Amino acid sequence: MIGKIYGTGSYVPPNVMENDDLANFVETSDEWIKERTGIMRRHIAQEEDMVYMAVKSAERALKNANIIAEEIDFIIVSTISSSVVLPCAACEVQKEIGAVNATCFDLNAACSGFLFAYNTAQAYIASGIYKTGIVIGAEKLSNLIDWKDRGTCILFGDGAGAVVLKAVEGKQFPLITHSEGEKGKALTCWQNDFIHMDGQEVFKFAIKQVPKCICELLEQNHLQKEEIDYFVLHQANRRIVEAVAKRLQVEIEKFPMNLQEYGNTSSASIPILLDEMNHKGIIKRGMRIIISGFGAGLSWGASLVEW
Ligand code: UT7
């Protein structure tokens, strides 16, 4: 069995922070941020907490999938930004949407989190343990940002995205995930502290490992890069996406981006983009998409999605 995406949903807070707004309190400029990252604005949650955004995205994904909440066997929420330790966000989502039959847990793999959660869901489905589930990436990173640190505060935004997966006949594709704890210091967030990042180290890591793991994925699935319709990467920096496209020698048009609007929303970035593409009719049934996440851990990976 394999999990097929039956529906997508997302929620981004209506409150927008432009690059120029940031220039009011840190030494930066719209020009610098746009040139070095591609980001033009980000959405910052006000009253909404991470769970609220996760719930909204799940409700929208269920509606899009035309599946009732009672059918859901599992809910996985990928997040690094919960304001409560217990209960887990997935149980809160369960309660709000009425998915009374679901097994629920959270997963933390930072910006690779959605990818790791998606792969975990596929493993459950492939083994026959569960049939139908929701995978959510939800983040309120604005709580974890040092708004005085121009090296990080310009990058991140808040939001949530979800996919509903349902088992269909088919052989599970090989999935790629990697972790390298030795390099963990490059991107950290201690309790009661903010996100600290060696931007250049993370940048170099991403442009080296992402193309490598995409090639690994293609090889293991006996596919040529030309057979892939879209490469949906974690939305961290436009220059990272461009560098990956260049290294893979694939035209940039196959790498959709929305980081200009939302900034880096960590584990929410891939499902928000998938939802946007789904609703715009850009992705059509039968298309092959590679999703790839990378970030703290360090961790990274890629997965093949047949729409
Ligand atoms: O999702 C998790 C994964 N995270 C990432 O993928 C982030 C990866 N890293 C990056 O995207 C980039 O490294 C950054 C966008 C964070 C930084 O871009 P950069 O091109 O690597 O800049 P830099 O850190 O080398 O800084 C260049 C210059 C420095 O000034 P000097 O030393 O050349 O005088 C910085 O102090 O730019 C300065 N700078 C800024 N200037 C204006 C750093 N941040 C800013 C800023 N505004 N916000």
CA atoms lying within 13 Å on the CB side of residue 273: 29
What's phi and psi for 9, nearest 5 deg?
-155, 160
**CA–CA dist 87, 16 (Å, integer):** 30
User: Which of 17, 36, 152 is the pocket-test mutation for ligand 1 (most atoms within 8 Å of CB)?
Assistant: 36
Q: Where are the alpha helices (DSSP H) in the chain?
A: 19-22, 30-37, 50-65, 89-97, 113-127, 150-153, 199-220, 238-248, 259-262, 269-280
Amino acid at 173: F
Is 64 annotated in the active site?
A: no
**CA–CA dist 294, 301 (Å, integer):** 7
**CA–CA dist 148, 150 (Å, integer):** 6
Is 111 annotated in the active site?
A: yes
Rounded distance from Cα 197 to ligand 1 centre (Å): 10
Rounded distance from Cα 26 to ligand 1 centre (Å): 13
Rounded distance from Cα 250 to ligand 1 centre (Å): 26
Closest atom, ligand 1, to C-alpha of 266: 1
**CA–CA dist 233, 72 (Å, integer):** 27
Is 178 annotated in the active site?
A: no
157 within 8 A of 282, measured Cβ to Cβ: no
CB atoms closer than 10 angstroms to residue 285: 7
Confidence label for 162 from pLDDT (cuts 50, 70 and 90): very high
Element (H, E) at 211: helix 199-220
pLDDT of res. 142: 97
Confidence label for 197 from pLDDT (cuts 50, 70 and 90): very high
pLDDT of res. 169: 96
Closest atom, ligand 1, to C-alpha of 37: 15
| pTM exceeds 0.95 for this model | yes
Tell me, using a 6 A CB cutoff, whether residue 202 lines ligand 1: yes
User: Going along 64-180, which residue ranges are E strands?
Assistant: 74-78, 103-107, 132-140, 158-168, 176-179
> How do strand 299-306 and strand 288-295 relate by DSSP bridges?
antiparallel
Amino acid at 7: G
- What is the tens place of the pLDDT at every residue in 76-133? 999 999 989 999 999 999 999 999 999 999 999 999 999 999 999 999 999 999 999 9
Tell me, using a 6 A CB cutoff, whether residue 237 lines ligand 1: yes
Rounded distance from Cα 199 to ligand 1 centre (Å): 6
Mean model confidence pLDDT for the chain: 97
User: Can you read off the two tokens belonging to residue 115?
Assistant: 């990818």
**CA–CA dist 259, 31 (Å, integer):** 16
User: Which of 30, 112, 203, 262 is the pocket-test mutation for ligand 1 (most atoms within 8 Å of CB)?
Assistant: 203
User: Can you read off the two tokens belonging to residue 194?
Assistant: 């903010």
174 within 8 A of 74, measured Cβ to Cβ: no
**Measuring from atom 6 of ligand 1, which residue has the nearest CA?**
236
Tell me, using a 6 A CB cutoff, whether residue 151 lines ligand 1: yes
**Measuring from atom 16 of ligand 1, which residue has the nearest CA?**
199
Query: Which of 39, 166, 181 is CA-nearest to residue 110?
Result: 181
